[in-house]
Amino acid sequence: MEQTLRETIRNNPKKILGVNPNDAKVSLSYLTVAFVSLLIGGILGMLQGLERAGLIQLPSWLNYYQVLTAHGLLLLVVFTATFTIGYQYANLSHSFGGLLSKVRKLAWIGFALMLIGVVMVTVMIVLNEASVLYTFYPPLAAHPIFYIGLVFVVLGIWACCFGVFINYRYWRKNHPGQTTPILAFFAMGVFILWFFASIGVTIEVFTLIPWSMGLVETTNVMVGRTLFWWFGHTLVNIWYLVATSAWYVIVPKIIGGRHFSEKLIRLVIILLVILNIPGGFHHQIVDPGISQSVKFLHVFMSLSIAVPSLMTAFAMFFVLERTGRKLGGKGLLGWLKKLPWGDVRFLAPMIAMISFIPGGAGGIVNTSNQLNQVIHNTMWVVGHFHITVGVSVVLTFFGICYWLIPYLSKRQLTPKMNKIGVIQTYVWTVGMALMAGSMHIVGLLGDPRRTSDTTYGGHEIAVSWIPYEMVFAIGATLLLIGVIIQVYAVFNMMFFAPKGHTEFPVAEPEDDATPAPLWTERWGLWIVLLIAVISMAYVVPIVDMILNAPPGSPPIRTW
């Protein structure tokens, strides 16, 4: 029976009215900061690539390590965090029929706090007072304002976390016996993980502020590094969880299919939330002062992430094949041809998913003890995170833009813009394949990372790295072209594309699918398990590092 207009407005106001303009403003503001950061970070990335290849010499007022620090923080923290908040708040608004006004206020408070923090951090880097790299752990010491800026960034993220928790609780209270829409469930997973991930780094930063001010003479470097990787490793999986929300829920709709079992999707989210944080020590696998048993535990916990990842791989292959076959695909791989490769909303996340195969395999190499000895602190690691973050995550984010931004700005994705998006995706893919591919190979040959000059007086081994470094430079140049195209596309879709209605593409379950189980909504229990796993992994080693502390380190400036 057809619904009356009144019933439609009551039951599904978005169908008639579209997105709430106030909610759209929140998301668009975060996305604006994200893509301005991407542009600046991308330019800095290309400069690094060219300097590393010996093609340019940066001026004395802008050295390699300043550029490296700004590139890392602007892209890995600012771009990903602001994009995630913009996207997840849009998901929440769509799923819940609008944000609560106090939640919107929290999002604006978070926005202001993050902006203040980013300005403080950036100014300190520009003034050459904070060339401490993206990881910023001791003994390298920045100006205190740099760390205070980071506190503001974390407070901004926490404001957004609390906003999500409040809106979720309100919705659950008003919908007893119902499971939350799947995208809102993803948002809960993302922000819970973010909150608990940032606790470690917040403690670290609070110990570094008095140390950098000279109020405390020394700091415990081991504890600082450990607290950083509690956050740093989890951040990677926060991006991954955000990307998988689009893979599981958005991509099936775009290709004309249905999403995989909601029970499995929810299980993957819960596993990623519970298992994620205690993988940090695999970044410190060659550090002294950590017992073999603790390292073994963390290697095991890192590898446990492979379980939900492999579940995701199976589920996505299933969805793609089932849809491709429904569209007439035959044979072993004929279904692949039936997928909409000319639609950027599919193409970009599809390439992102494919790249997660070598990206995930590289992650298993990194976390294996003996294999880590081969690749530790080499360009392999840089190649690894460029293929995982730079393709699996970022290309998914780019693909999301082509429906999310027109939806929020009440505009349309034109065929011309779709074509630009397809070209951008190929430019980005080729650029990253050249850059990350050569980084992987030259890393295996021993080329170190985080070093501006690796000629080592013309030693023959160092000379053998140069051709690969030239390929980085070519890749980095293509990537900057990709950034410029993407930023153009984003702001065009935000302000200049033709007005119109754009669908928020959320896939439906299969007709015979069983309803999502209510037990998955027990976030209290998942958080208890998360805390138990964190305690198991961190209490003993951190207590040991404090009780048997090596001599502390004074602040060190190497620049």
Partner 1 sequence: MIQTKPNDSHKELHDEKSLKGTLFSVGVLAAVIVVMWVTVFWIYMDRV
Q: What is the binding site for partner 1 (CB under 8 A)? A: 310, 313-314, 317-318, 321-322, 324-326, 330, 332-333, 335-336, 357-358, 360-362, 364-365, 368, 370-371, 373-375, 444
If the CB atoms of residues 172 and 322 are measured against partner 1, the closer one turns out to be 322
If the CB atoms of residues 366 and 409 are measured against partner 1, the closer one turns out to be 366
Q: What angle do the packed helices 394-409 and 80-96 form, to 10 degrees?
A: 50
Q: What is the closest distance, in whole angstroms, from the C-beta atom of residue 30 to partner 1 in the complex? A: 34
If the CB atoms of residues 45 and 324 are measured against partner 1, the closer one turns out to be 324
Q: What is the closest distance, in whole angstroms, from the C-beta atom of residue 357 to partner 1 in the complex? A: 5
If the CB atoms of residues 170 and 300 are measured against partner 1, the closer one turns out to be 300
Maximal C-alpha separation, the chain: 80
Q: 98: which 2 tokens? A: 């609008």
Q: What is the closest distance, in whole angstroms, from the C-beta atom of residue 466 to partner 1 in the complex? A: 21
If the CB atoms of residues 510 and 544 are measured against partner 1, the closer one turns out to be 510
Q: What is the closest distance, in whole angstroms, from the C-beta atom of residue 291 to partner 1 in the complex? A: 22
Q: How many CB atoms lie within 10 A of CB 499?
A: 9
If the CB atoms of residues 201 and 339 are measured against partner 1, the closer one turns out to be 339
For the chain, how are helix, strand and coil distributed in percent, rounded to 5? 75, 0, 25
Best CA proximity match to 30, nearest among 490, 500, 428, 501: 490
Q: CA 386, CA 134: separation in Å to the nearest integer?
A: 14
Q: CA 33, CA 86: separation in Å to the nearest integer?
A: 10
If the CB atoms of residues 98 and 443 are measured against partner 1, the closer one turns out to be 443
Phi, psi of 550 (to 5 degrees): -75, 170
If the CB atoms of residues 197 and 315 are measured against partner 1, the closer one turns out to be 315
Q: What is the closest distance, in whole angstroms, from the C-beta atom of residue 59 to partner 1 in the complex? A: 39
Q: What is the closest distance, in whole angstroms, from the C-beta atom of residue 369 to partner 1 in the complex? A: 10
Q: What is the closest distance, in whole angstroms, from the C-beta atom of residue 103 to partner 1 in the complex? A: 39
Torsion sign across C-alpha atoms 363, 427, 239, 52: positive
Q: 323: which 2 tokens? A: 């849809």
Torsion sign across C-alpha atoms 178, 15, 162, 103: negative
The residue type found at 551 is P
Q: What is the closest distance, in whole angstroms, from the C-beta atom of residue 324 to partner 1 in the complex? A: 8
Q: Which residues contact 64 (CB under 8 A, 6 or more apart)?
A: 48, 51, 52, 58, 452
Please check whether residue 21 is in contact with residue 90, taking contact to mean a CB–CB distance below 8 angstroms: no
Q: CA 453, CA 54: separation in Å to the nearest integer?
A: 8
Provide the residue count of the chain: 559
If the CB atoms of residues 203 and 307 are measured against partner 1, the closer one turns out to be 307
Q: What is the closest distance, in whole angstroms, from the C-beta atom of residue 342 to partner 1 in the complex? A: 21
Letter string b/e over residues 245-280, b meaning 16 or more CB atoms within 10 A of that residue's CB: bbbbbbbbbbbebbbbebbbbbbbbbbbbbbbbbbb
